Structure 1
Amino acid sequence: MADNSPKRKAVQSEERPKWVPLREDQHSELSTLARELMLSRARKTERITENTVIRLAVDLVLRHPELLVGDTEDDLRTNMLGRFEQLLERERELLAGGAGEEPGESQ
């Protein structure tokens, strides 16, 4: 059922469509992720759709363009995902209490 609340209508009027072809794996995993997020919501006030996830990914890249390094789509993807994994690993180490070695430090 569509959310026709005034708030949602205002947001929709500010959005502009952009058509983006996806690889088969992206399409499938995007559908699965959106469905899982939708089902796991604590508050059932707003739908989580594939477009929601896409907009969040765009927001992440626009907020952190420093993650985009490379000359091709493959380079950009590999470098961005690699850097993101490094950041997540560092966060896991900090949360586990092992500060580990600071970037640039050597033993």
Structure 2
Amino acid sequence: MSTSPITTHVLDTSRGRPAEGVPVVLERLEDSGEAVVLGRGETDADGRLRDLLPPEPRPKPGTYRITFDTGAYFAAHGTTGFYPSVAITFHLRAPEEHHHVPLLLNPYGFSTYRGS
């Protein structure tokens, strides 16, 4: 199965399970400062979003931002969180590689790393 060149996985560490139903937006940040939406979706039952972009064409090198609507996710679970959204900005330097941007989330904190 071909997947998007940029994917994500959200884990809710306060519940100890994948975060299903997190709205996600992927943007490319142009040199002009403009943010161009390239894809959007929602995490599945496994907390993954595999289809932010089509498998081809590959994204070009540059700066990208992936934004998670954590406020909507927490509201759907009857939880009040401190962060209404989480935006992760990253450089894509090798378009031939897969870029996985996981998010570890709880109502009062988050962390991320470059996954594989």
By percentage of residues, which structure has more helix? Answer: 1
TM (norm. structure 1) is: 0.18
Larger strand proportion, structure 1 or 2? 2
Greater gyration radius = 1
